[in-house]
Amino acid sequence: MATTAYLNSREERQAYAMLTFPSLHDELLNESEQRKVVAVGAQLFGKPIGLAWASWWPQHHRGELRTMHVVSAYRRRGIGALLLEAVERALAEAGCDTLDFKFRAGTDSAPIWLRMTSRWDLPRLSVLTFTMSIPRFLELPWVGAWRMNERLRVIGWDTLNEAEKARIREGDNEWYPHQLSPFIRERYFVPGLSVGLCDGDETVGWMTVESYDDETVIGDRMFARPPHDGQGRGIMLVAEAAKRSIEAGFRAGRFEVSAGNVPMLRFVERRMKPCLTGSYEVVHKRRRLQPEPGATDAK
């Protein structure tokens, strides 16, 4: 019979790392005060056969399930359910309020994820993931049509010093929403590709970039502080990040748009279609791990 155990150390998680994507190895093995890891492994006769793990942010009481995998020969035995329940239980005991999970729609495994998360109690959300050709994007006539004024300049994110970053952190949930914070995944930025928008000495926007593989970058978070958001500054940031990506040898870019963001979806359809090479839907589900304030259990 398979047994499950929490993987509390880096060494324990290393033994199961082959069961998650290589691009996630660093996130699984390393944690910090800001981001913790909860991982549970299943083994049979000492051989790892299943893994479920989540990153979670104690200061925001939120987690994200990053991998849910059982070796094919051992599926349909309830191992996945045991792993998921163990992750949920550990997060709840640690004070995590909600757990998110994203997976690609239309794949062979999608029905499995839907079944395993059928009891998750908040509505399902969806995002569309687009892939574009960076060279074709830069050739679009409107991409280079925007101009900076004399106060604005685009800088490499890696040129910001700690004092400048501290000033940006002070604006978290003040002048920008936390989910667009450039610091959530800063450690995964490709050096020199992420950029900031400066108005004089103040940083008022950013475009953060991560690598997916040797050919593809991911546009993770883009933000421009009002009134710059209505003046095409976001396009300038994307264009600058795209130019830097080409110089670094990347040819494709990937980005997400919420299914509820109708204006952005229209923009992608009308203005970016010539450079798109593919798209797919990502299902985003959420599980509440703590009761709502004031809620009581039914008797």
Mean pLDDT value of segment 246-259:
94
Average pLDDT, whole number, for the chain? Answer: 89
* CB contact burial 17-43 (16+ within 10 A = b; e otherwise): bebbeeeeeebbeeeeeebbbbbbbbb
Higher per-residue pLDDT: 293 or 281: 281
pLDDT at position 215 over 90: yes
pLDDT at position 148 over 70: no
The string of DSSP codes covering 220-286 is EEEEE-TTGGGTTHHHHHHHHHHHHHHHTT--EEEEEEETT-HHHHHHIIIIIGGGEEEEEEEEEEE
Q: Each residue of 162-207: pLDDT tens digit?
A: 999 999 999 998 999 988 999 988 888 887 999 999 988 899 999 9
* pTM for the structure as a whole: 0.72
CATH H superfamily, domain 3-96: Gcn5-related N-acetyltransferase (GNAT) (3.40.630.30)
Domain with CATH 3.40.630.30 in the chain: 3-96, 129-283
Q: For the structural domain made of 129-283, what CATH number should be given?
A: 3.40.630.30
pLDDT band at residue 296 using 50, 70 and 90 as cut-offs: very low
Q: Each residue of 262-288: pLDDT tens digit?
A: 988 998 999 999 999 999 998 989 999
Higher per-residue pLDDT: 201 or 292: 201
